[in-house]
Each structure stands twice: as structure tokens, then as C-alpha cells.
């Protein structure tokens, strides 16, 4: 059994760690509220815009534009959306594992590049042949320093331009979707080309177009793509804070349990030390009397 000094040192160390994890949990909870409000406001608009776009584009004749052009898939871009910081459980690792599964599976044999929007993905893939920042800022993960629609729109515009030019034949978004503070859903979405909805036989919504439908589509698709990427980043941002809050909550609880166990061991060691001293005194007294 460890001596009393060692146990006291460990108790102090664990208490300090528990204070840090507890503080990080409270900070994440405060950030989560703002991030959750942002994605909650954005999601209905993005989903409704996507629904309108799907309904309208499904009636076109196949010449709906450069962002819907289907080509033989040879060059693929994966946009990996992670966080800039760790201590959030399996949040970042899940995205990275999904991408590795894609590389070994459906994208095996294709020329795949990975754009990292998040320092954790950047650090993980920067030494691989798949890493790319071509056409983007040297460190695109700095998008989190000022996460707004304008900055995200610039990244989306570059991706759309590269797809339209034929540099990439397919683009995927891999990220964590926010469900609640404890649950994040791993998403693997095709970003480009824009996919027409499957015909289900349901009643199709009719629209009155002003100006012409083709012109509206040419303006609506780029805006919808920018909003889709912005929503993915907002989802990931909220999911990150939820994952970190949950991880720090568990870490705090575990630290509390460890402190209880250490205190129990400390009391046992202290009791054993006191009992040993009493026995020595009694033995010494009997030796003097004898």
C-alpha cells in the first residue's frame, strides 16, 4: 500500500484535475447554448430551401447546370469537418474513421483529396497524400475563428468552382450532426453533384416562376450549396460543444469517484500506521515492565 504522503499527493492532483474538468464543462455548456441556438435557427431555412430546390430541379430536362453534371467518378474531394480542439470524446475520431473507411471501401482506387475544416483533421491528414489546401487558405480550419455565412460562402465558392472546372467529379461532406447535448450523428453527405430527388409518386408542388425557372435554378443552387456547407459547420460546432460538455461531465464524475477511493485508501493507511505505532508502544512498555 502506498504511503500517506503519496496518497495525499494523488488526492491533491486529482482534485485539481476535477476543478479543471468541471470548469471546462461549464464553459462548454455556455458555448453550447449559443451554438445550439444558431443551428436551430438555420436548420428550418436550409431544409426548406433544399426542398424547394429538389422540387424545382426534378422537373428539368437534365441540363440544369454545372453543379448537377454527372461525370465518371475519378477525382473526389472529401470535406472533413472536425473541431480545432480535443477533449471531446470520440467526436473527431469518428469523422477520421469514417473517411478512412471511405478510402478503403467505395473510394478505393480513385484519386481522393481531403480538405480539412478543423485543426484535428488537418493534423491527422496533412502528412498523407490525400491532404489538400489547393485554392484555399493555407490553414482553412481558421474558419472557426470567425464562423459566419460570408466566410463559409468563400470556401463553398472555391469548391463549386473546382467541381465545375472538372477538377473533382464528386464532393462529400463528413461531419457530426447535432441532435442533443449527449448525442451526435455522424453524417456522410454527397455535396456535389446536386442529386435530383427520387420520384416517389407523391403530388408535386407547382410554383409560379418569376423570372424564368432556369434562371432561378442557376441562382438558387449556388446559394443552397453555400447554406448546406454553413449548416454542416454550425451542426459540427454545436455537436462539438455537446460532446465536450458530456466528456468533461464524465471526467468530473470519474475524478470524484477516484478521490473517494483515494481517501478511503488514505484512511486505511493512516489507521494501519496508528495501529502499528500503538502496538510498538505497548510492546515497548511490556519490555520495560518485564
β-bridge pairing 75-81 and 111-117? parallel
- Torsion-angle region of residue 161: left (phi > 0), alpha (psi -120 to 50) or beta? alpha
Question: Helix, strand, coil shares of the chain as percentages rounded to 5?
Answer: 60, 10, 25
Quick count: other Cβ atoms within 10 Å of Cβ 77? 23
Task: Identify each DSSP E strand in 44-91 by its residue range.
Answer: 75-81
β-bridge pairing 170-180 and 183-192? antiparallel
| Active-site position among 88, 107, 243, 262 | 88
Q: Is 237 a catalytic residue?
A: no
- Max Cα distance, the chain (Å): 116
Please state, in angstroms and as integers, the Cα–Cα distance from residue 181 to each residue in 32, 35, 64, 218, 242, following that order: 8, 11, 40, 38, 4
Active site residues: 88
Amino acid at each position: 500500500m502506498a504511503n500517506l504522503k503519496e496518497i495525499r499527493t494523488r488526492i491533491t492532483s486529482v482534485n485539481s484535475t476535477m476543478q479543471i474538468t468541471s470548469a471546462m464543462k461549464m464553459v462548454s455548456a455556455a458555448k453550447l447554448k449559443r451554438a445550439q441556438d444558431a443551428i436551430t435557427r438555420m436548420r428550418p431555412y436550409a431544409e426548406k430551401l433544399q426542398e424547394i430546390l429538389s422540387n424545382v430541379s426534378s422537373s428539368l430536362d437534365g441540363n440544369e447546370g454545372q453543379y448537377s453534371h454527372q461525370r465518371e467518378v475519378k477525382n473526389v474531394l472529401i470535406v472533413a469537418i472536425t473541431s480545432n480542439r480535443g477533449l471531446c470524446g470520440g467526436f473527431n475520431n469518428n469523422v477520421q474513421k469514417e473517411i478512412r473507411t471511405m478510402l478503403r471501401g467505395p473510394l478505393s482506387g480513385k484519386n481522393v483529396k481531403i480538405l480539412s475544416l478543423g485543426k484535428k483533421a488537418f493534423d491527422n491528414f496533412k502528412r498523407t497524400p490525400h491532404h489538400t489546401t489547393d485554392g484555399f487558405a493555407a490553414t482553412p480550419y481558421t474558419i472557426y475563428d470567425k464562423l459566419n455565412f460570408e466566410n463559409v460562402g468563400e470556401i463553398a465558392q472555391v469548391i463549386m468552382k473546382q467541381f465545375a472546372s472538372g477538377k473533382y467529379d464528386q464532393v462529400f461532406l463528413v461531419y457530426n450532426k447535432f441532435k442533443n447535448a449527449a448525442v451526435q450523428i455522424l453524417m456522410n453527405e454527397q455535396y456535389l453533384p446536386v442529386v435530383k430527388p427520387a420520384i416517389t409518386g407523391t403530388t408535386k408542388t407547382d410554383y409560379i416562376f418569376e423570372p424564368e425557372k432556369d434562371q432561378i435554378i442557376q441562382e438558387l443552387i449556388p446559394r443552397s450549396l453555400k447554406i448546406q456547407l454553413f449548416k454542416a459547420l454550425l451542426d459540427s460546432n454545436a455537436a462539438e460543444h455537446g460532446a465536450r460538455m458530456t466528456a468533461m461531465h464524465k471526467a468530473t464524475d470519474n475524478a470524484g469517484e477516484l478521490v473517494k477511493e483515494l481517501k478511503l485508501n488514505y484512511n486505511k493507511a493512516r489507521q494501519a500506521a496508528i495501529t502499528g505505532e500503538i502496538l510498538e508502544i505497548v510492546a515497548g512498555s511490556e519490555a520495560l515492565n518485564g
